[in-house]
Structure 1
Amino acid sequence: MSDSQNGHRFGDERIVDWLNQSREWKYPKDAPYHPRSDKHGAAQCQYFVEDLMYESDAIEEAAQAGEIVFAEDYDVGDPRGLGWNVDLVIGPPSGDVQAPLEGGMTKDTPSEVWLAADAKSIITEHQKARRNRQRDINSFADIMHTHHEQALTCGILLLNIADQFDSPTRDPDDITDHPHIERIIEEIVDLFDSIDRAEGEMSANLDGAGVIVVDHTNLVDDIGETELVTDPPAPQKGDRVHYRTFVSQMADWFDDRFL
């Protein structure tokens, strides 16, 4: 039976729905995605939590029993120094929690971090952003393991393959063109695939990364449906940076290490 027939839709499909909301915007600044907003990252993390529960009966049972909880915008260390504001953490609760009445995982502060996820995106100006995102994810894994040695660390990267984008942070109508975008996306996918991995062992390295490629434009005169890109240069099923392969691997390692 397919996932959709089971009633579950993975986060790679759902973030496309999120980007497609309110398609009748009048200006790019009205679009759901804004580079200085954390809303898209928060949505992606929520989908990831639900995907982990779908992949693992043990995670689902622990969540429904109130034995694990999640928190967003979680400070590890001092963010002004050797610290990080983490998009998502999962771990055992600090005290008794009310288990969700309709399934899901309770939002609460964990007593320790068992999994930490950072959600990043490169929607426009890819050449400038790619190395910044790589440095971000490497620093994130290193800082997390400094404070929580046993934690699984992972990153989720949303990549835009549209050849034009009108960034709300630039001057009006200063539209960014992305020439050779397919080659650039392929290079970014390879870059994130090349990041050293812990491979299920406890180390300072990243444990996993999932890359989602979308075709998303916000040009007012050329608004079309945002689409999930599944053909190359997007990662292919079985690639370790393919989103659903990544989710399955993280669920397995979470089970093995903590449950």
Structure 2
Amino acid sequence: MRLQVLGTAAGGGVPQWNCACPGCSGARAHPGRRRSHASLAVQLDDGCFVVNATPDIADQIEACPWLRPGPGPRQSPLAGVILTDAELDHTIGLLRLREADTLQVRSTPVVREALRPFADILRPYVRLTWAAADAIPVSGKRPRYAGHDAGLPESPEWVSALRLTDGTSTLVYAPAMGVWPAALDDALATADCVIVDGTFWDDEEPRRTGISAKTATRMGHLPIEATMERLARLPGRCLYTHLNNTNPLVDPDAEQHKVLAELGLEVAADGMVIDL
């Protein structure tokens, strides 16, 4: 399996357009620190897929040589999109893909239902086909637009860890994790590569930095401090993604990088290519 990390930032990216926090200011002063929204390009047996369709998807496709169009004038290798959840920063790029003739979207049923308005908008432009994703529920947190008054069901499958395989190698991708269920343990134990939620370094980070009155866990993200020891015991290569602009890891000189390195863990970088 071949994959390219297309982006590694949480919602808003780094820098976020309306934020002057140290992480965003540092990324403006040092362009190498910029991060686009978290996404992957993956080559599977049945085609090339993008995992999550972010607001940056057009630039992310251009940055991945094996996703660029050709040899025909309107011939694209992109077969479809696999979704971990229904959050806007992971789905709004579907609208940007309206130029396609057909597009397969893989998701859980509740995510498909939440995206029905997107499907209605896209119907005159592109033929969408839907399929089930090989998903492990890791949070019942629904997007704000899909609140309890939206008529959508309660479900543990609002947010999933994806298990992607080409028959030889296996990747587990979970850019958002609110819980760590036993089923996830089973998948991680046999994965060649694991890329998981690194939104916040510690649980108090959102409150300490003033971006929320909630802790990281209450926002639906297990902090790195709560997962790094468990990841360090896994046999596969483990990386963190989906970094919020408040996360100290957006600074390459932060001491937290050394903490992860001592555990054998990595921080994914935009453009990184991993061959499994």
Is the TM value for this pair above 0.5? no
Bigger fraction of residues in helix? 1
Bigger fraction of residues in strand? 2
* TM-score bin (small chain): 0.3 to 0.5
TM-score, length-scaled by structure 2: 0.35
TM-score, length-scaled by structure 1: 0.37
